Chain A
Amino acid sequence: MDAVERLQRLLSIVSWVATQPDGAPIDEVARRFGVAERELLDDLGLASMVGADSPDHDDMPIEFFVEDGRIHVFLYSFRQPLRLSPEQGLALVAAGAGLLAVPGTDPDGPLARGLAKLAGVLGIPVSESVEVDFGQVHPPTFHRLQEAVDQHRQVELDYYAFGRDERTQRVVDPWLVFQDGGEWYLAGHCHRAKGERVFRVDRIEGLAVLDTSFTPPAEPPTRSSYRAGDHEPRVTLDLDADARWVAESYPLDDAAELDGGRLRVVLPVSARPWLERLLVRLGPTGALRSADEGIPADLAAEVATRILRRYGAV
């Protein structure tokens, strides 16, 4: 910890202890501010020496003594803590906005009230200045899932696998509910796939918490919605300038600039329907340049024809 951090902590400590009518126990102060007792007393000792040899200051800004294990502080300056820096203000406000976005947080509870007060001293109307959105989930599903994680109970999911475009029933050991890229995910061991899988919570269409329990893994799972597999086939796409969003939306193995703002990217294909969707969304703004075995070169045309058939246009 550098001098700047230490001083902020020290001035926070003295202004808080000074508000306690009978001082405060050393151990409580140490715990409250996350500092070792020895270091706490050393810092207070240093602070109380400031001004001692200055001819221009009659008062030393900070006096303290310790009696019966309690710290007593008298202040001539620094009665209030230092102002929050913008970084500190933003860190707190954004964290608060983030927790408010978790399903089940009381929108009028202590957090919301605390944030409103904090916003007041920062000069911003908080609810209108910083907001976090983690996407829509069904709150009861979210809660029962979270409970199952906490209680180590298996769940049975009725799950729509968007990438594979199929609906499945599966029993899962739920390890962790987490947020990534603005969506909620469940990581766990899937007994159907016999391996670790990640599920988007908003695509869980049915949930049953089972009586069977499981042993959670010793190592917490990775908080990433994407599990890259080396075994997945790769495709190379040429993207026009207005199709460059693909590079921002999906994990790439490789990207190279072409002329006219075009981009050539190589990316893994987690499932065939996923690639089909990407190709028809790209439409005439992108082209499948090459692909690993098993992916036809004219896949985009094949899918487009299939959809056109539905419109009676083929």
Chain B
Amino acid sequence: MAGASGVSKMERLLGLLTVLIDAPRPLTAAEIQARVPGYPTDLTAFRGAFERDKVAVRTMIGVPLAPQAVPGTDPPAVGYRLHPRDAHLADPGLEPEERAALHLAASAVRIGGLEATGGLWKLGGAPGPGGSEAPVADVGELPADRNLVRFFTAIADQRDVTFAYRGEQRRVAPHRLDYVRGRWYVTGHDHGRDDTRHFRLDRIDGDVETGDRSEHRRRSGGGAGVRLAPWELGGDASVTARLLVDADQRPNALATARGARVVEERDDGSVVLEMRVTSRAGFRSFVLGFLDHAEVLGPPELRDDVVAWLAATIDRVEGR
């Protein structure tokens, strides 16, 4: 809406971007006030309006309008400018069908609280009618996590992040974000442990701070970990488990047990699966999901573990 000067906020912001982008040198606040139509003449009112506009610029391009020294000033003055490289989107060179596919994706998949429309405008708006894309399943909305954007920015800028996780402060060079089993995970190099680690975003306590440029190089394939099955998500000594599953549970077992091998098919329709186990707790939980329709055949330590767990279950009930 137009302010007292008759200049709307949109015009003022456009004027601000015009003078800041590719200014030959950083412009002082006083110069900005004089050159951009629509700023109040009162200094306090101007400062308030300029601060709000700085936030607006950051919202639009994601880059903060940071004060810089103005060369050749004595006493030293600070000023503002935007490098065209920071202000503008490099042309990704999208073909029409690629732009259409991105539009389709943004309409089929929404990320909670994140608006895709502004990005689609910047990529040239909606493609022409007559797109022959078949309708796809409406995926709906994926939840967003409050730290998702911060991690995404840190990945793009290759910066370290620090945060509290399970009561410990972590410094991590984040590599990737995964949405698996309904949750967001970040994978990165944990400097404290000098190894790759996965973190569930909803288990991070408090705020995530972005730090220095990360010295740790991005490694590919680091995200496979969050796709591992429950019986692989652990640091126990690796053993190969043999699990007998009854006929009625066979399709369910084969659908759930990613990475398991069928080593025996019995005449009654039951199957014996073999799987590599590095988490006894995860394996036990998986096996107990079959109730009495499955049985751990070996090795003995895994079989004993299930038996001991069930005995402890009975003890707890009877010990009440």
* A interface residues, Cβ below 8 angstroms from B: 3-13, 16, 28-29, 31-34, 43, 46-47, 49-51, 53-54, 56-57, 61, 77-78, 80-99, 102, 104-105, 109-111, 113-115, 117-118, 120-125, 128-136, 146, 150, 160, 162, 165, 167, 176-183, 202-203, 205, 223, 273, 276-277, 279-284, 287-288, 298, 300-301, 303-311, 313
A and B contact pairs by CB, cutoff 8 A, 13 listed: A3-B10, A12-B121, A33-B125, A53-B37, A81-B123, A83-B86, A92-B119, A92-B123, A111-B101, A132-B142, A181-B182, A283-B310, A313-B310
| Chain A residues near B43 (CB-CB < 8 A) | none
Q: Which residue of A lies closest to B21 (CB)?
A: A77
Q: Are A95 and B111 in contact (CB under 8 A)?
A: yes
Q: Shortest CB–CB separation between residue A9 and chain B, in angstroms?
A: 5
Interface SS majority for chain A:
helix
Q: Are A306 and B115 in contact (CB under 8 A)?
A: no
The 10 closest A-B pairs by CB, nearest first: A114-B98, A181-B182, A88-B119, A98-B109, A182-B182, A85-B62, A12-B121, A32-B125, A111-B101, A3-B9
Q: Shortest CB–CB separation between residue B201 and chain A, in angstroms?
A: 13
* B interface residues, Cβ below 8 angstroms from A: 8-11, 13-15, 17-19, 21-22, 35, 37, 56, 58-63, 84, 86-95, 97-102, 104-106, 108-111, 114-128, 135-140, 142, 148-149, 152-153, 155-157, 175-183, 218, 220-223, 227, 248, 251-252, 255, 258, 285, 288-289, 291-293, 295, 303, 306-307, 309-318, 320
| Chain A residues near B311 (CB-CB < 8 A) | 304, 308, 313
Bound-complex Cα distance A104 to B317 (A): 49
| Chain B residues near A13 (CB-CB < 8 A) | 121, 125
Q: Are A8 and B121 in contact (CB under 8 A)?
A: yes
Q: Shortest CB–CB separation between residue A214 and chain B, in angstroms?
A: 19
A92: contacting residue among B102, B127, B140, B218, CB under 8 A: B102
| Chain B residues near A301 (CB-CB < 8 A) | 313-314, 317-318
| Chain A residues near B306 (CB-CB < 8 A) | 311
Q: Shortest CB–CB separation between residue A169 and chain B, in angstroms?
A: 14
A303: contacting residue among B115, B124, B291, B320, CB under 8 A: B291
Q: Are A136 and B295 in contact (CB under 8 A)?
A: no
Bound-complex Cα distance A87 to B92 (A): 18
With A92-B106, A99-B109, A131-B176 already in contact, the answer to whether A307 and B87 are too (CB < 8 A) is no
| Chain A residues near B11 (CB-CB < 8 A) | 46-47, 49-50
Q: Are A7 and B60 in contact (CB under 8 A)?
A: yes
| Chain A residues near B153 (CB-CB < 8 A) | 86
With A95-B106, A124-B156 already in contact, the answer to whether A118 and B92 are too (CB < 8 A) is yes
By CB atoms of chain A within 10 A, which of B90, B92, B223 has the most?
Answer: B92
B90: contacting residue among A61, A80, A86, A131, CB under 8 A: A80
Q: Are B91 and A114 in contact (CB under 8 A)?
A: no
| Chain B residues near A181 (CB-CB < 8 A) | 181-182
By CB atoms of chain B within 10 A, which of A10, A13, A61 has the most?
Answer: A61
Q: Shortest CB–CB separation between residue B189 and chain A, in angstroms?
A: 14
Q: Are B89 and A96 in contact (CB under 8 A)?
A: no
| Chain A residues near B62 (CB-CB < 8 A) | 83-89
Bound-complex Cα distance A51 to B7 (A): 12
Q: Are A304 and B310 in contact (CB under 8 A)?
A: yes
B102: contacting residue among A114, A121, A160, A304, CB under 8 A: A114
A85: contacting residue among B15, B61, B142, B221, CB under 8 A: B61
With A54-B35, A179-B139 already in contact, the answer to whether A85 and B59 are too (CB < 8 A) is yes
Bound-complex Cα distance A130 to B222 (A): 12
Q: Shortest CB–CB separation between residue A268 and chain B, in angstroms?
A: 19
Bound-complex Cα distance A177 to B295 (A): 34
